[in-house]
Amino acid sequence: MLGSVVPKTKLEVIETILAMYPHAHCELIHHNPTQLAIAVILSAQTTDQAVNRITPGLFAAFPTLQDLAHAPLEAIEFHLKSIGLYRAKAVNIQIFAQQVLTRHNGDLPSDFDALVKLAGVGRKTANVIQAVAFNLPALAVDTHVDRVAHRLHLVPLKADLLKTEQRLKRLIPKELWIHAHHAILFFGRYHCQARTPQCHTCPLYAECRFPKKEHFAKNNA
Ligand code: SF4
């Protein structure tokens, strides 16, 4: 029988995921907060792997924010061509660099409200920056976290990204937010994938409300 006989509570579901991925971490290549921010901006609607293939070249070509802020746009685009929306992303990271220089003297702020005012930085990106670059309690909801939270009934079926973030923050102790974000993301990326979830080996099968779980459990067994 897959999963537990007595369904786990929502917190026990989270604890199971935390235990599965005790060392979950940010997989985007970066060496400082601004490189992290740029990598997260570039990761919109593409994979971390795709971003990691281009950022070493990008960071080598533009080692400082000044380099990025003053580069010809085509030179930035050249490094981003293999990822989706590269033209818009090139504009965003250049404006982002200019804004960090002019508004914050070149130091990326850790304040959420200041972060979301920067080009290309939305709620998810700001949360990732706070958590990964500044070790501040934050819980980013990306596509993986959102999918897992819904499949495992951690949030109401119709919860949007903001409601999902708020619900998870109420559910999870604050000191675990950073680890929970990474662990749930790993669970979604490596176990409960969008198209090929590993339902046949899932320790949370009983708690899952994904309508196709039986199908995937049978076909992968
Ligand atoms: Fe994901 Fe399948 Fe587990 Fe449900 S049973 S959480 S869909 S892997």
How many CA atoms within 13 Å lie on the side-chain side of 51? 22
Q: How many Å is the maximal CA-CA distance in the chain?
A: 61
Is 142 annotated in the active site?
yes
Q: Pick from 83, 85, 184: which is nearest to 143 by CA?
A: 184
Q: Is 2 in the pocket of ligand 1 (CB under 6 A)?
A: no
Distance CA 28, CA 188 (A): 16
Q: Is 20 in the pocket of ligand 1 (CB under 6 A)?
A: no
Question: Which listed residue (10, 48, 89, 142) is catalytic?
Answer: 142
Question: Which listed residue (10, 89, 124, 213) is catalytic?
Answer: 124
Residues with Cβ within 8 Å of 23's Cβ and at least 6 positions away in sequence, in order, are none
Q: Provide the residue-wise pLDDT of the chain in tens; the chain has 221 residues.
A: 455 568 899 999 999 999 999 999 999 999 999 999 999 999 999 999 999 999 999 999 999 999 999 999 999 999 999 999 999 999 999 999 999 999 999 999 999 999 999 999 999 999 999 999 999 999 999 999 999 999 999 999 999 999 999 999 999 999 999 999 999 999 999 999 999 999 999 999 999 999 999 999 998 77
* Token output for 81: 């061509």
84 touches 71 (CB < 8 A): no
Q: Is 210 in the pocket of ligand 1 (CB under 6 A)?
A: yes
Is 107 annotated in the active site?
no
What pTM was estimated for this model as a whole? 0.94
Between the CA atoms of 128, 182, 27 and 36, what dihedral angle is there, to the nearest 10 degrees?
10
